[in-house]
């Protein structure tokens, strides 16, 4: 296949070095690296005219040549209208009679690992020089072939993005189900009895404060980092401990236990998840193991504590000492909550379990679709597609 240096396929125009004093609250948005891959990031604006070579518009191909590897390097399409280009970003101008921009984007991004390898700079922040970037060789087939490859990769990319959307929707679905079944906790439209978490709890115990080891021990021990903010589990970093006969029942979790994080930063305190594994694991002292009584259900409690209202309540009740916020077992049980009939709570549990099953399948297929894209991309640029 015909390999050409990237520099021969396009002309690179670097952005303008805007000084902080030139920033304004109105005018034309200044496009910075953070605005490329995250639409929620705010713009700085510029309220005077700059040289035309720094103008950007929808459809322009941009390449960010500085930043932290893995997050900000790479080529992006700009889709949000007129803007001025900030430094550390190239606008990639091509002769569209010879080069297809969409193709070029996939082609250069497939070489990113190599580009980042050649980048220089200190810890975290790295730069690639214009010369080195221009020297990177990419395959350049005929325009028609470029368009064909770009269309295939577009399709594969769309599939993996839709999968991600589906994952987000499934999460929203659970919240929606909770609200639909139990109503807004503030207005309590369904008129459930109002009580506290204590009404639904049988026991609430603190975990083991013994020192855990990275390698040795019979039981994996869950620590606060193992609960995610959204209320599920992350077992990627586990430690282990041994438990004697007496402590086994005291410090281990069984399927269906609710686990509550009692100390963390103000934003994270009160993370809650339901333990769903069959094999027992131990839990550490900053966690509280909650076992509901016959009137309560772990999934219902977890659903509430992970809802927006629940998170708000937690953040407003915690007491903080030097950066750490605290909610002890008693305070946690003092939280006001609706006490719907147990049958409804159990129905909610079933929906959660079903949806989670689906979610796991989604996650697996997301991994699959990602591999598909990478494999297609590799084949395409090896001339084998």
Partner 1 sequence: MLTGQLRNDIDKLWEKFWTGGITNPLTVIEQISYLMFARMLDMQEEVAERKAARTKKPFDRVFPDTTEGQQLRWKNFKNMSGSELHGHIKNNVFPFFASLGHPEQTKDVKAKKLAKKSALSNNQAGTVGSALRALAHIGEYMQDADLAIKNESVLVSAVAMVDNLPLTQSDVKGDIYEYLLSKLTTAGINGQFRTPRHIIDAMIELIDPQPTDVICDPSCGTAGFLARTMEYLNEVYSSEAGTFKDEDGNLHYSGDLLEPYRTHINRHMFWGFDFDSTMLRVSSMNMMLHGVNGANIHYQDSLSKSIKEHFPQQEENFFNVILANPPFKGSLDESNTNPDVLGLVKTKKTELLFVAHILRALTLGGRAAVIVPDGVLFGSSKAHQQLRQELIENNQLEGIVSLPSGVFKPYAGVSTAILMFTKGGTTERVWFYDLQADGYSLDDKRTPLTGEGSNDLPDAIKQWHKYCQLIENNSRPATIEKHFGDKTQQAFVVNAEDIKNNKYDLSINRYKEVVYEEETYEPPKKILKKLKTLEMEILADINELEEML
Q: Tell me if 224 sits within 8 A of 270, measured CB to CB.
A: no
In the complex, the smallest distance separating the C-beta of residue 376 from partner 1, rounded to whole angstroms, is 8
Contact string 130-149 vs partner 1 (x = CB under 8 A): ------------------x-
Given candidates 307, 339, 345, 377, which one binds partner 1 under the rule CB under 8 A?
307
Residue 317 is a binding residue for partner 1 (CB under 8 A): yes
Given candidates 111, 147, 163, 356, which one binds partner 1 under the rule CB under 8 A?
163
Contact string 2-31 vs partner 1 (x = CB under 8 A): ------------------------------
Contact string 167-206 vs partner 1 (x = CB under 8 A): --xx-xx-xxx-xx---xxxx-------------------
Given candidates 158, 194, 353, 382, which one binds partner 1 under the rule CB under 8 A?
158
Residue 344 is a binding residue for partner 1 (CB under 8 A): no
Given candidates 2, 40, 165, 244, which one binds partner 1 under the rule CB under 8 A?
165
In the complex, the smallest distance separating the C-beta of residue 167 from partner 1, rounded to whole angstroms, is 10
Given candidates 162, 350, 360, 363, which one binds partner 1 under the rule CB under 8 A?
162
Residue 356 is a binding residue for partner 1 (CB under 8 A): no
In the complex, the smallest distance separating the C-beta of residue 320 from partner 1, rounded to whole angstroms, is 5
Binding segment (CB under 8 A) for partner 1, from list 138-146, 253-261, 315-323, 342-350 = 315-323
In the complex, the smallest distance separating the C-beta of residue 303 from partner 1, rounded to whole angstroms, is 12
Given candidates 102, 116, 238, 385, which one binds partner 1 under the rule CB under 8 A?
385
Which tokens hold the place of 90? 């190239």
- Footprint on this chain of partner 1 (rule: CB under 8 A): 148, 151-152, 155-156, 158-159, 162-163, 165-166, 169-170, 172-173, 175-177, 179-180, 184-187, 307-309, 312-313, 316-323, 385
């Amino acid at each position: 296949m015909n390999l050409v240096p990237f520099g021969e396929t396009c002309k690179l125009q670097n952005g303008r070095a805007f000084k902080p004093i030139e920033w304004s609250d109105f005018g034309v948005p200044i496009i910075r690296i953070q605005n490329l891959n995250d639409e929620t990031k705010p713009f700085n604006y510029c309220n005077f005219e700059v040289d035309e070579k720094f103008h950007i518009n929808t459809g322009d191909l941009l390449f960010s040549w500085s930043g932290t590897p893995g997050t900000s390097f790479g080529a992006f399409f700009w889709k949000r209208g007129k803007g001025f280009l900030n430094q550390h970003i190239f606008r990639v101008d091509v002769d569209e009679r010879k080069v297809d921009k969409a193709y070029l984007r996939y082609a250069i991004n497939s070489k990113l690992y190599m580009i980042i390898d050649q980048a220089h700079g200190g810890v975290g922040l790295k730069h690639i020089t214009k010369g080195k970037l221009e020297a990177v060789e990419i395959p350049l087939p005929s325009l028609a072939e470029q368009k064909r490859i770009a269309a295939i990769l577009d399709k594969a990319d769309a599939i993996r993005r839709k999968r991600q959307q589906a994952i987000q929707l499934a999460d929203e679905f659970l919240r929606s189900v909770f609200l639909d079944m139990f109503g807004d906790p503030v207005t309590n439209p369904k008129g459930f009895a109002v009580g506290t978490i204590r009404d639904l709890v049988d026991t609430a115990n603190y975990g083991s404060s013994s020192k855990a080891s990275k390698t040795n021990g019979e039981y994996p021990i869950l620590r606060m980092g193992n609960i995610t903010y959204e209320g599920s589990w992350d077992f990627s970093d586990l430690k282990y401990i041994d438990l004697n006969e007496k402590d086994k029942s005291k410090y281990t979790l069984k399927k269906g236990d609710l686990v509550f994080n009692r100390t963390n930063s103000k934003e994270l305190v009160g993370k809650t998840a339901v333990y769903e594994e069959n094999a027992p694991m131990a839990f550490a002292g900053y966690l509280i193991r909650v076992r509901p009584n016959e009137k309560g259900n772990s999934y219902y409690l977890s659903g509430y504590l992970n809802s927006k209202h629940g998170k708000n309540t937690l953040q407003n009740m915690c007491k903080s000492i030097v950066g750490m916020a605290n909610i002890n077992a008693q305070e946690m049980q003092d939280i006001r909550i609706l006490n719907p009939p147990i049958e409804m709570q159990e129905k909610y549990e079933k929906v959660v379990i079903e949806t989670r099953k689906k979610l796991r399948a989604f996650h697996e297929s997301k991994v699959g679709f990602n591999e598909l894209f990478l494999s297609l991309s590799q084949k395409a640029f090896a001339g084998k597609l």
